[in-house]
């Protein structure tokens, strides 16, 4: 991407979009376009077309999506399938209509089969049934991936699809019910520390394993792919190692400085038993994540204290 190109970052108020805008600014990109949800509702095709007609973005970084943790996915499957399919369909089709030079669409590691061999290679997509707790979200993302492939094939577009692992970091959603596990644990441990409330309840058995990427690393990887990758084949973005929810619990507990008891509530769902990406394709292109889990959680906790307390 040229430094003076017009780059539309869809979803700039979210976790990933905000980190991408920050990184683009630091790297000297001068023409970044953003729109709030009030200014542009991406689920409305006509609004999206009017926006592309007026602004003519040359590049699109598509991070806008309805996202949430395991409980949000269980509670709102209709919203997850509708909003994600609408947003991505409108953005991808309009990008084709208005000749966007290149875009990156973010899929998700949860699009891989529930019982996928680990680590998950790109070719395992659609090789088995999905994890039921996030099937709507996964199906929507698979539809986006397949739409990119189909448009590249039929219209010779340059639509890149990346599948990131679970992201976390500053600007995350810390809602106790709907958030992902890292922001949820930061908030639970912090509030328990302040209120001297014990025990802290962790959902599930603690046995599932997840791979977590710090959002600044994910932003860096997306910009790297925009500048260095043109394939139609999907590409995983991860860190190359995973952690059990139990190990994660004790890392967050230490970072926050909570000294009380922890209880695992096994009546809550575990979700997918293990989710870890094979990142050899990305490594072979020359990109690797830099931030350790403990450092990333410490940065996120600092942000949480500064901006939410
Ligand atoms: O982050 P999380 O909601 O996402 O949960 P998933 C990860 C694991 O942490 C699950 C456990 O095994 C949860 O049961 N966990 C323990 C908790 N305590 C908590 C808590 O207080 N809050 C939360 N949220 N989890 C999502 C998908 O799955 O991953 C989405 O549902 C999306 O579609 C996202 O793909 C990245 O990794 O299980």
For 29-56, the pLDDT digits (tens) are 999 999 999 999 999 999 999 999 999 9
Over residues 200-227, the mean pLDDT reads: 98
**pLDDT recorded at residue 111:** 97
* End-to-end Cα separation, the chain, in angstroms: 38
Mean pLDDT computed over 210-225: 98
Distance separating alpha carbons of residues 248 and 206, to the nearest angstrom: 9
Q: Domain 6-171+211-238+276-291 belongs to what architecture?
A: 3-Layer(aba) Sandwich (3.40)
Measured by CA distance, the residue closest to atom 30 of ligand 1 is: 69
**Residue with CA nearest ligand 1 atom 28:** 70
For 132-181, how does the pLDDT look when each residue is reduced to its tens digit (9 = 90+)?
999 999 999 999 999 999 999 999 999 999 999 999 999 999 999 999 99
Mean model confidence pLDDT for the chain: 97
Q: Does pLDDT of 129 surpass 90?
A: yes
* pLDDT higher than 90, residue 196: no
Ligand 1: lining residues by beta carbon, under 6 Å = 69-71, 73, 108, 110, 133-134, 137, 166, 179-181, 184, 202-204, 208, 210, 245, 268-272, 275
Residue range 60-78: average pLDDT? Answer: 97
Say yes or no to pLDDT of 296 above 90.
Answer: yes
β pairing state of 102-106 and 159-164: parallel
Pocket test for ligand 1, best of 271, 273, 277, 300 (most atoms within 8 A of CB): 271
**pLDDT at 67 (0 to 100):** 97
257 CA → ligand 1 middle, Å: 22
Rounded to whole angstroms, the Cα distance separating 256 from 185 reads 9
The number of the ligand 1 atom at minimal distance from the alpha carbon of 165 is 36
Q: Tell me, what's the pLDDT at 34?
A: 98
**Helices and strands, number each (H, E), in the chain:** 10, 13
Percent of the chain scored above 70 by pLDDT?
100
Pocket test for ligand 1, best of 70, 172, 268 (most atoms within 8 A of CB): 70
Ligand 1 centroid, distance to 291 Cα (angstroms)? 21
Mean pLDDT, residues 4-18 taken together? 98
pLDDT of 113 higher than 90: yes
* pTM strictly above 0.95: yes
DSSP characters over 192-214: HHHHT--PEEEES-S--EE-EEE
Q: Say what the pLDDT of residue 227 is.
A: 98
Active site residues: 137
pLDDT bin (cut points 50, 70, 90) of residue 197 is: confident
* Spatial distance between the Cα atoms of 79 and 90, rounded to a whole number of angstroms: 16
DSSP sequence for 13-58:
TSHHHHHHHHHHHHTT--EEE---TTT--TT-HHHHHHHHHHH--S
pLDDT at 263 over 90: yes
- Mean pLDDT for the stretch of residues 208-228: 98
Return the pLDDT at 114: 97
- pLDDT, average across residues 184-199: 95
* Mean pLDDT of the 88-113 span: 98
289: pLDDT strictly greater than 90: yes
Domain ranges of the chain: 6-171+211-238+276-291
Residue 142: enclosing H or E segment and its boundaries?
A: helix 135-155
Å from CA of 308 to ligand 1 middle: 22
pLDDT (0 to 100) of residue 58: 98
């Amino acid at each position: 991407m040229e430094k003076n190109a017009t780059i539309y970052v869809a979803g700039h108020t979210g976790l990933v979009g905000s980190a991408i805008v920050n990184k683009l600014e630091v790297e000297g990109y001068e023409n970044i376009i953003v729109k709030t949800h009030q200014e542009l509702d991406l689920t409305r095709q006509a609004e999206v077309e009017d926006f592309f007609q007026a602004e003519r973005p040359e590049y699109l970084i598509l991070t806008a999506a309805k996202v949430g943790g395991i409980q949000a996915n269980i509670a709102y499957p209709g919203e997850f399938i509708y909003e994600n399919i609408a947003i991505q369909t409108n953005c991808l089709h309009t990008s084709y209509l208005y000749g966007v030079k290149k875009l990156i669409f973010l899929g998700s590691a949860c699009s891989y089969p529930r019982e996928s061999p680990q680590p998950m290679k790109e070719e395992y997509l659609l090789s088995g049934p999905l994890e039921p707790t996030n099937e709507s979200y996964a199906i929507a993302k698979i539809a986006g991936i397949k739409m990119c492939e189909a448009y590249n094939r039929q219209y010779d577009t340059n639509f890149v699809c990346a599948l990131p692992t679970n992201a976390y970091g500053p600007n995350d959603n810390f809602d106790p019910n709907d958030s992902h596990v890292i922001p949820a644990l930061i908030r639970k441990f912090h509030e328990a520390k302040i209120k001297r409330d014990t025990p802290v309840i962790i959902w599930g058995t603690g046995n599932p394993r997840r791979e977590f990427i710090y959002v600044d690393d994910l932003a860096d990887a997306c910009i790297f792919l925009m500048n260095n990758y043109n394939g139609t084949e999907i590409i995983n973005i991860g860190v190359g190692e995973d952690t059990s929810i139990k190990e994660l619990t004790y890392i967050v507990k230490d970072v926050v400085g909570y000294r009380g008891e922890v209880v695992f509530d096994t009546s809550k769902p575990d979700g997918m038993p293990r989710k870890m990406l094979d990142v050899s394709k990305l490594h072979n292109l020359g990109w690797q994540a830099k931030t350790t889990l403990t450092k990333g959680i410490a940065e996120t906790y600092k942000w949480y204290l500064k901006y939410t307390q």
